[in-house]
Structure 1
Amino acid sequence: MSIGKHAVEQALCDPGASINLMPLSVFKKFGLGDPYPTMVILQLADRSLAHPEGVIEDVLAQVGSFIFPADFIILDYEPDQEVLFILRRPFLATDQAIIDVYEEKMTMRVDDRLEVFSMYKTLRLPTHYEGLSMISVVKSDVMSLVPYMSPVDPLERALIGDEKDNEDELMEEIEQALNMSCSYVHGFGRFEKLDMPITLTPPKPSIKEAPNLEIKPRTTHLCYAYLGNSKILPTIISSSLTEVQEEKFLLVIREHKKTIGWTIAK
């Protein structure tokens, strides 16, 4: 593509764009005259608004052997060095451009004239590089790093085939490591025997055979009440209850003591 006497290696044909866009720096470089003022406000991809410097009309743009008049919006922005211009969808419709994605070709036709462009050649690697990366390789003394690279654990050295030590010393270290692990496993299962009588019969519930318990003194707001005769099966109640309230409470508890599962451990 070329505009006037200036060749443009690459331009972006955006089917979604509604305008032809030219950077202000390129416009001044090409010397295309004075732009006309415009009231157009552009909304960019980041949702920000930009006011163009103006518009220039009927610029002759040559694509291949075809020459088309095009209007460009002039905008002050930092252009991509690989793509200086953005061409809108009507520009492609003017010359009946057909893009074949499978064949990687773009065909432009005007009347009986035909021009075919290779998309593969158009999208070749850029000729300019904005930045370069460099990796410096320093040759190090490999032998000095061997002690740090060699595993310390004897079992690990045996598994990866490290022959730093002779076979006898290696087997001796492995045997010591295995003996240490075995002694740890054997000592882990030790237990002490408790001198307690073994009873085969399970203990009876307290509601059937109440144990003799030592009653401990309580605070002034609590007192003991007994569910069984002869002061057995004690329970703790509030000392603020009246005699009638206490009798009603104990009556309900005695009727449901099996359901409650009242037990006392010896």
Structure 2
Amino acid sequence: MKYKDPGCPTISVMIGGTLVEKALLDLGASVNLLPCSVYKQLGLGELEPTSITLSLADRLVKTPRGMIEDVLVQVDNFYYPMDFVVLDTDPIVKGTNCVPIILGRPFLTTSNAIINCRNGLMQLTFGNMTLELNIFNLCNRQFNPKEEEGPEEVCIIDMLVEKHCDQKMQDELNESLGDLDEGLPKPSNLLATLPHWRKIEEILPLFNKEETQEVVKEEAPKLILKPLPTELKYAYLEENKKCPVVISSSLTTDQEECLLEVLRRCKKAIG
């Protein structure tokens, strides 16, 4: 379910014995604001100097005329001490919809205001007492019955911003694609832009072949064989008396050859 704009929240307050019928409740205001013309009408005493500056909704920065402290603001039977900033503004014409004063966050915090925007009620607290006020019906809004039944006013700022961002991204994408449509440079043109090749010097081998061959040619150190008992003797599985093994000296020549043949086949197992 959708709800229409309930209007601007206003309340009637009494300041210095004078009734202010429409005091605007503004959660976005950090101070309580009092126009200089209204300040003179209320006769609230002398102003105190202040060094603060105000940044208005239209982005104008203004310097207040001064500040008046501890002004009693009466809401029904509740009294709240408030500080007001007095600002020079255009004179307020009676009978217009201009709001004479603005009650900002200091007032809403001091009164512990709780606003229900759906039913238009605001609850104020004073000590252990509470007060409920209708803050939307107090604002005199002139409606035409035909306008009430007509189409609602919709804020399309977000939609326009999103549309503008999408269009900008689409334009940048089309521009990038247009650059691709022109084609990439031909390979010959790319080669022309590259620096000329220079002759590569001969790369020397990592190892010296002669030194490698000398290492290979080095003979293995000769083994020093220990003397054996008479019943044992040395036999060799390879030429030049390499890979010696110990066998029995009582074997015949044929037996010795058969044994060596078997040992040569099992050389890998022997180690």
TM range (shorter): 0.3 to 0.5
Scaled by the length of structure 1, the TM-score of the pair is 0.45
Q: Tell which structure's C-alpha radius of gyration is larger.
A: 2
Scaled by the length of structure 2, the TM-score of the pair is 0.44
Looking at both structures, which has the greater relative contact order when contacts are Cα pairs under 8 Å and sequence separation is at least 6? 2
Greater strand fraction, Structure 1 or Structure 2: 2
